[in-house]
Structure 1
Amino acid sequence: MHSYTSNFEYQFIDMCKSLVNKYNVAGPRYTSYPTVPYWNIDTFSQKKWELSLKQSFNETNTIEGISLYIHLPFCESLCTFCGCHKRITKRHELELPYIKALLKEWSLYRKIMGTKPKIKELHLGGGTPTFFSVENLKFLIDELLITSQLAENYEFSFEGHPNNTTESHLQTLFDLGFRRVSFGVQDYNLKVQKAINRVQPYENVKSVTDLARKIGYTSVGHDIIFGLPFQSEDDVIHTIKQTEALQPDRIAFYSYAHVPWIKGNGQRGFKDEDLPKAEDKRQQYETGKALLQQVGYTEIGMDHFALPHDSLYTSRQNNTLHRNFMGYTASKTQVMIGLGVSSIGDSWYGFAQNVKSIEEYYHLLDENILPVYRGHILNTEDLKIRKHILNLMCHFETSWREEELQFPELPEVLIKLKELEMDGLLEFTDRALIVNEKGKPFIRNISMAFDLLLQRKRPESSLFSMTI
């Protein structure tokens, strides 16, 4: 057994293998409820989406502001671990037409909202945002800022690739108001990097991390993945030890989601037998978690860790942590607008997703049509369940003391949760439940007990990754 075991015990020893085997099932990650397979597309329309957006915007814009997610889909090469929507190309002349299309989409949303939007959060995701030139990124942000106002304590963030994020990228975006950046690390073992087609030396990660700090970024994040092909527990230990030396302010420690049946051949650069077994994958997480906690990181929600000075940690302490299609965020906004191909918007009362083809996206915008192709308008039951699942995913507890969080099938849900209680994963108090430390790795399973749509009808084929 590895020498670290005697120091940390991993908490894995207490989590017997039978529990991992029992609860390692396909399940949602709950960036939304209802989850996408259960969106009622038949009753959805662009008009209903616009009405739900208007209602929510008018309720909250002056108080909360809105979140803005911008999807920049271009990548120069395909990373085979990635489940995001992307377009692989080396043609940088595609940048400006895409940015102009984003601004056209933004203008359509501004007409719907009617008054000047107040931006609370802005995030550039991808794809590879740093595929785009500094000049084009500046043009995009300048145009957005001219047509909006900024909320107090706004937060701008972007995802950077360590191999192509330049000092000019970092400085220009900093000058535009960005203070948070996250870099995709994944794993430092060269064999693992080659398997996922993401070769980047530690020196590149160190260089951009140091540059970001020198320029003045207040939150530098690293994304690490466990459960990758050929990855061992020793690889996880090595990667986290390397990460510790750089002290990123927050860390996303993700489980690799192996869903090649959804993402096509992009996740078939290796064989299924090259992936760690479920119990080995879980031990990789528990080992990594123990190491992170030993050096001062606190677990935030699911798969996230932060140092005490980071806003994600503060929001967890203040019970203001929120979760949406961007993942965990340090503050809540009721309205999130997604711009770009495949982006998803959230009005709180409804969801809408954009078309995934760049050509169709351009065509619809040329016709002055919002490029949404599917979505869901939430009913009363959806809103109640959504709140319970958000409580669990963000705070590891929920209650049904308030009338607004009760629903007719609640007693049946509580019966299902009894089994999880008997397995020692949660505790019931007066009309409430609290997930304990042993239960935190199974938070997706606990949330699934509240998912009435999943219980009524499972998807014909699995659209979800495994929970463990």
Structure 2
Amino acid sequence: MNSLVKKYNIPGPRYTSYPTVPFWNQDHFSKNKWIKSLNKSFKSTNLTEGISIYIHLPYCESLCTFCGCHKYITKRHEVEQPYIDAVLKEWQLYLDLLVEKPIIKELHLGGGTPTFFNSSALKRLIDSIFVVAGKHANLEMSFEGHPNNTTQKHLQTLYDLGFTRVSFGVQDYDEKVQKAIHRVQSFSKVEEVTKTARAIGYQSISHDIIYGLPFQTLNSIEDTIKKTSQLNPDRISFYSYAHVPWIKGNGQRGFKDTDIPKDDEKRLLYETGRNMLQSHDYYEIGMDHFSKTSDNLYKSFKNNTLHRNFMGYTPFKTTVMIGLGASAIADCETAFAQNEKNITAYLKRIENNELPVVKGHILLGEDVILRHAISDIICKFKTNLSNVYSIIPEDVLMKRLSEFLKDDLIIINNDQLTVTDLGKTFVRNICMAFDEYLIKNQPKTQLFSMTI
């Protein structure tokens, strides 16, 4: 394994989309093309699948220096009402475009820090969304909560609105690591919000843990996972720290590059954490995710219904996902669209009754085929290659996959590619063999974090 990690630990995408955002074709994209693609997908799937809604709530009271998300740091809570107003106005702009009443199957609040907003503001947001939308019979709603400011009132209010899943950002319990990443929170606080959520009735509680953080040691990762297992969350996301200061600027410069575990040291953190999670009965689901067998994420994986989009892994597929809020990304199978990232500019566009989409990508036929192959690999650990050969000739693809075959990371039988248990660690690398944009347009500068 040591030699394989050294061999394959290279910069690579996380494949929340294909094509990945750096390779979106802006010349071929327009807002009108996005609206046309959206309506086509919406009309054919709304009444059967329903749609997903992602709402980006970007405010945080303090800057966590590990974070790669789009956020705005402030302690001024008077920003809450005008931002909620803008999101609801954006929702109305979409409603004016759609041909029928949307049926919502999935809704997720991300950030930023959704629990920056007080519970009454969140209630107004959700109530207003559903005034003009139907609820799917299998509706699932979830939110991301900061352990330090997620109150019992937050948890109860959102549960009463229909939220059944919550994710808490833990990252690491070591005080030195917490100070370096500016995310100081005690185990007792995480324990309190986890137990409160469980007592209220949340069906799925998730904890996020990151390996490769500055000053992180083998002892700290072992201690973090040991404490996490005591709280028995239903899901655990075990992410590699994405050090991308060339994208996020000073937000990831609160420590020196030499403070970050690298190479063999980081590999050991990953392998130790992964082995510990599995020893505590967490089953590996796709990339970076583990769940108990009782959780619906595991059940969807076993049933081959696991789906991945800009909200992460979800237990079912919705073809249409509408993104609301600054920087939010929307998806309709044949097109992606991203909102204005700058909050002031976002609010101004909404004030002018303008859909705040500023970039995107219209998928070509070959994009759709390769997107499905990559999605299958990261959701099912397998894919059929027969359709792929129409885009990438078989001899070319086999050459790209030859090292994975030689290293027993994949097996291919009757055009069926299956990722082995050993290969699960290197899923991002395997997907890169199908990424025509990455292969044909090798970036001259580093765009992506390391794969491991």
- 1:98 counterpart residue number: 83
- 2:333 counterpart residue number: 348
Aligned partners of 1:58 and 1:143: how far apart in 2?
A: 23
Q: Equivalent residues in 2 for 1:57-456 (5 A)? A: 57-401=42-386, 403=387, 406-456=390-440
Contact 1:122 1:155 in 2 (8 A): yes
Partner letter of residue 199 of structure 1? V
Q: Which moved more, 1:54-63 or 1:289-298?
A: 289-298
Unaligned runs of 5+ residues in structure 2 are none
Aligned partners of 1:329 and 1:282: how far apart in 2?
A: 27
- 1:11 counterpart residue number: none
Partner letter of residue 424 of structure 1? D
Aligned partners of 1:354 and 1:460: how far apart in 2?
A: 27
- 1:10 counterpart residue number: none
Deviations 1:280-305 (A, max 9, x none): 21221111111111111101001101
Aligned partners of 2:310 and 2:443: how far apart in 1?
A: 21
Partner letter of residue 157 of structure 2? T
Q: Secondary structure at the match of 1:417?
A: helix
What displacement does 1:465 show? Answer: 0.3
Contact 2:147 2:185 in 1 (8 A): yes
Partner letter of residue 189 of structure 2? N
Deviations 1:170-213 (A, max 9, x none): 00000000000000000000000000000000000000001001
- 1:7 counterpart residue number: none
- 2:31 counterpart residue number: 46
Unaligned runs of 5+ residues in structure 1 are 1-14
Aligned partners of 1:383 and 1:444: how far apart in 2?
A: 18
Q: Secondary structure at the match of 2:27?
A: helix
Aligned partners of 2:263 and 2:150: how far apart in 1?
A: 35
Aligned partners of 2:328 and 2:18: how far apart in 1?
A: 16
Partner letter of residue 252 of structure 2? Q
Contact 2:385 2:417 in 1 (8 A): no
Aligned partners of 1:82 and 1:314: how far apart in 2?
A: 30
What displacement does 1:408 show? Answer: 4.4
What displacement does 1:409 show? Answer: 3.3
Deviations 1:379-407 (A, max 9, x none): 01100100110010111111124x48742
Q: Secondary structure at the match of 1:292?
A: helix
Percent identity over the alignment is: 59
Aligned partners of 2:389 and 2:120: how far apart in 1?
A: 48
Aligned partners of 2:328 and 2:346: how far apart in 1?
A: 11
Q: Normalising by structure 1, what TM-score?
A: 0.95
Q: Which moved more, 1:107-116 or 1:55-64?
A: 107-116
Aligned partners of 2:217 and 2:388: how far apart in 1?
A: 46
Aligned partners of 1:440 and 1:393: how far apart in 2?
A: 9
Partner letter of residue 82 of structure 2? P
Partner letter of residue 105 of structure 2? K
Contact 1:384 1:405 in 2 (8 A): no
Aligned partners of 1:105 and 1:40: how far apart in 2?
A: 24
Aligned partners of 1:334 and 1:232: how far apart in 2?
A: 41
Mapped pair 1:466 → 2:435: no
RMSD, aligned α-carbons: 1.0
Contact 1:388 1:405 in 2 (8 A): no
Q: Secondary structure at the match of 1:152?
A: strand
Contact 1:228 1:256 in 2 (8 A): yes
Q: Secondary structure at the match of 1:41?
A: coil
Aligned partners of 2:354 and 2:148: how far apart in 1?
A: 37
Aligned partners of 1:317 and 1:287: how far apart in 2?
A: 25
Contact 1:232 1:284 in 2 (8 A): yes
Partner letter of residue 401 of structure 2? L
Q: Which moved more, 1:279-288 or 1:85-94?
A: 279-288
Change beyond 3 A, Cα 1:356–1:410: farther
Contact 2:123 2:157 in 1 (8 A): yes
Aligned partners of 1:148 and 1:411: how far apart in 2?
A: 49
Q: Normalising by structure 2, what TM-score?
A: 0.99
Partner letter of residue 186 of structure 1? Q
Contact 1:69 1:122 in 2 (8 A): yes
Aligned partners of 1:229 and 1:410: how far apart in 2?
A: 43
Partner letter of residue 449 of structure 1? A
What displacement does 1:40 show? Answer: 0.4
Aligned partners of 1:314 and 1:252: how far apart in 2?
A: 17
Partner letter of residue 43 of structure 1? H
Aligned partners of 2:385 and 2:280: how far apart in 1?
A: 37
